[in-house]
Homo-oligomer: A and B are copies of this chain.
Amino acid sequence: MDVVHLRDHPWLGIFDWMLRGIGQVVFQNNALSGAVILFALFYNSWIYGSIAILGVAASTLAALALKADREMIKAGLFGFNGALVALCLVAFTSADFRTGAVPAPLMTVYIIFGSALSTIVMQAMATVLAPFRVAALTGPFVLVGWMFLFAVLKFENLDAGPLVKPISPEDFPDSIAYTLPTWYMGIGNAIGQIFFQDNWITGYLIILGIAINSRISAAMALIGAGVAALTAVISGGPEGAIRDGLFGYNAALTAMALCGVFLVANVQSVLYAIFGAIISTWLWASVAIFLGPIAMPVLTSAFVLVTWMMLLAQSGFKALSAMPPPDAPPPSDS
């Protein structure tokens, strides 16, 4: 069955929309990209792969139940935040961050509620940002993720373990030298960390999935993660955090968003994206330190904040051009 036609099938269509939802985490409205990325998650851990499906299903079904905009649902735009909420809640409540753990029944219900809530927050942010022609990005995931992680720590029947993952540069020793693996593992891990995957091979498989739909996006993801590693090295960030991809996952998303996704790819937007990637790297550290006292992870808040600012500003900067909406008439008609 052709993947493109699957999209409009009366009851099989949802599988296409869900795969696009996985792809939309990295801006790719393409079911095949989503399938490759899902495979990359399963390659690291079948638990994470399954949880991503649970999350994208819960948020997509919530959008259908609430009768949200059909075209947005079909483009996977109500799925990607749900997938991230589910992955996040499992990642930070599992004894082993790397493979995750199968959530208990009550925790599973909690995850489904969180993913469904991401659909409501997605629509709320889309409504607020619409006048400015700026996307909600992973803002809904960050907000719901923080809200739900805080609560999980305090309900006896939900608490599934301590946050075992280092989430701040302060958790890493300072004295380790940078080596070649700092770079190639750091860049791969940065891509993987977008999906909470602490596995650099998974990261490069995700790049492959992105490249199926957009070689520019794949290149910008690598450039963003590379710029982040370079920025962190020059600034003297701890080697462990760089190799773990922690400095880079926000920068990779920022670089993709600012060149080729929301802004037309050209020399100016490449420079703008590199600037954004550098800022995202420093900001990851800022937010990590800010959240330190309450032991919350940064998630993709640095990417969301920097990219919102840089996209909101774009309308005032004649050096940059926004991408036309997908269904816009050719410029000559407007």
Contact = CB atoms under 8 A, between A and B. Distances in A.
Interface in A52-73: 65-69
A245 interface: no
Nearest to A62: B275
Nearest to A158: B235
Interface stretch (A12-20, A26-34, A312-320): A312-320
Contacts of A158: 235-236
A316 B150 contact: no
A228 interface: no
Given A127-B132, A150-B285, A120 B310 contact: yes
A131 interface: yes
Nearest to A120: B313
Contacts of A315: 127
Given A147-B283, A150-B287, A289-B153, A312 B236 contact: no
B237 A127 contact: no
Interface of A: 65-69, 106, 113, 116-117, 120-128, 131-132, 146-151, 153-158, 169-170, 174, 232, 234-237, 275, 278-279, 282-283, 285-290, 292-294, 308-310, 312-313, 315-320
Return the 6 tightest CB-CB contacts between A and B, nearest first.
A156-B236, A157-B236, A150-B286, A124-B312, A123-B313, A67-B318
Given A66-B320, A124-B313, 9 more contacts: A117-B279, A120-B313, A123-B312, A127-B313, A128-B312, A146-B286, A148-B286, A151-B285, A289-B294
25 contacts: A66-B319, A67-B317, A67-B318, A106-B235, A113-B275, A113-B278, A120-B313, A123-B313, A123-B317, A124-B312, A126-B316, A127-B132, A127-B312, A148-B286, A150-B289, A151-B283, A151-B289, A154-B237, A154-B285, A154-B288, A156-B237, A157-B236, A290-B294, A292-B294, A293-B293
